[in-house]
A = this chain, B = another copy of it.
Amino acid sequence: MRIALDAMGTDDYPSPDVAGAVEAAKELGDTIALVGDEDLLKAELSKHKTAGLALEIVHAPQMISMEDRPAEAARTKLESSMHIGMALVESGEADGFVTCGNTGAALAVATLHKIKRIRGVHRPALTSIVPVRGKPFILVDVGANVDSKPEWLLQFAVMGSIYAERVLNRQKPRIALLSLGEEEGKGNALISEASKLLAQSDLNYVGNAEPKEMSTGRTDVLVCDGFVGNIFAKTLEAMGSNLFDAIRDEIDHSLRAKLGGFLMRPAYRRIFRQHDPFEIGGAPLLGVDGVVIIGHGRSNALAVKNAIRQAHQAVEGKIVEAIRDGLGQKSVPSSGQSGGH
């Protein structure tokens, strides 16, 4: 298997990207194509022991930064590491692509310029694999689509279900809509319409889920509009940081807490690890005609390595083919733009 990595992706590129690629090549035995500035990557690679590993460099003269406007960068920086990396997937020279760079740009390059969407997909969706106390679920959409239509949510559910089954190894993945409560009639117009579509589908739809249910492990795939999903995911992250910051402040301000904090350190580490997105590494852009995994800009080497592993598993699980087949099922209308909210 050959996986292309945007080696100019993380905030601290190319160091975590290259280190993660070296680890992934070792762990998975795959060929990793590092896409980026050739001189920079050669220098960075020379810091690692790479004998026997299948690491390649594919030169890309441009890069897209976190500050670039996504649509504009996608349209103008045609020689960026994202464009060139995704072109490798488009042409079949690579089996998958991983980037920890500008998410909006990755979305725009993939959907508008390279790879493109799978036939029948209304809208590709960004996902996040959310770790809560060690029981991750896949959240879809987390920001690619705002003002979603009910039938988009149905497709998000189909694609999320396929990913949960084939990559996260969940049997009959349980699908829920993120909403205000279990009771019928709770939610907004979108949720109300989407829940009807889900109930009629072949999916294992278990109803609506409130935020507090995330830690119960009741749901494998949590489906929502991208605006709501983005707020939800960012609120989880913000509240987590906020509480850990508060604990850190307390530890800094009293001797008793300093000692308590020292003793709690292994416990905090375990809790942190149970909620650490870097243990998962990245999450798929679903609905495009190739494996694309997007990681966090702040990724370290571990996160990059794990994102590459997600790509490896997605390729192995034939996720693109499965989505193409899944959307062909008669329970899921592959056309029809009706039913706004």
Contact = CB atoms under 8 A, between A and B. Distances in A.
A251 B270 CA distance: 12
A230 interface: yes
B266 A243 contact: no
A259 interface: yes
Contacts of A211: 231, 234-235, 237-239
A245, A257, A261: which has the most chain B beta carbons within 10 Å?
A257
A200 interface: no
Nearest to A250: B267
B251 A256 contact: no
A146 B185 CA distance: 12
Contact of A188 (B214, B227, B238, B275): B227
Nearest to A264: B260
Interface in A221-265: 225, 227-228, 230-232, 234-243, 245-247, 250-251, 254, 256-257, 259-265
Contact of A178 (B225, B231, B246): B231
A92 B250 CA distance: 48
Contacts of A234: 180, 210-212
Contacts of A245: 215
Q: How large is the interface on A (under 10, 10 to 19, 20 to 34, 35 or more residues)?
A: 35 or more
A210 B254 CA distance: 32
B228 A231 contact: yes
A215 B228 CA distance: 20
23 contacts: A143-B180, A146-B188, A147-B188, A180-B227, A180-B231, A187-B227, A211-B239, A212-B234, A212-B241, A214-B238, A232-B232, A235-B235, A239-B243, A246-B274, A250-B271, A254-B266, A254-B267, A256-B263, A256-B266, A257-B267, A260-B261, A260-B265, A261-B264
Q: 4 tightest CB-CB pairs across the interface, nearest first?
A: A260-B263, A250-B267, A260-B264, A146-B188
Given A215-B242, A235-B236, A235-B239, 16 more contacts: A146-B189, A147-B189, A178-B231, A180-B234, A210-B234, A211-B237, A212-B237, A214-B242, A227-B228, A231-B232, A232-B235, A247-B271, A250-B264, A251-B267, A254-B266, A256-B263
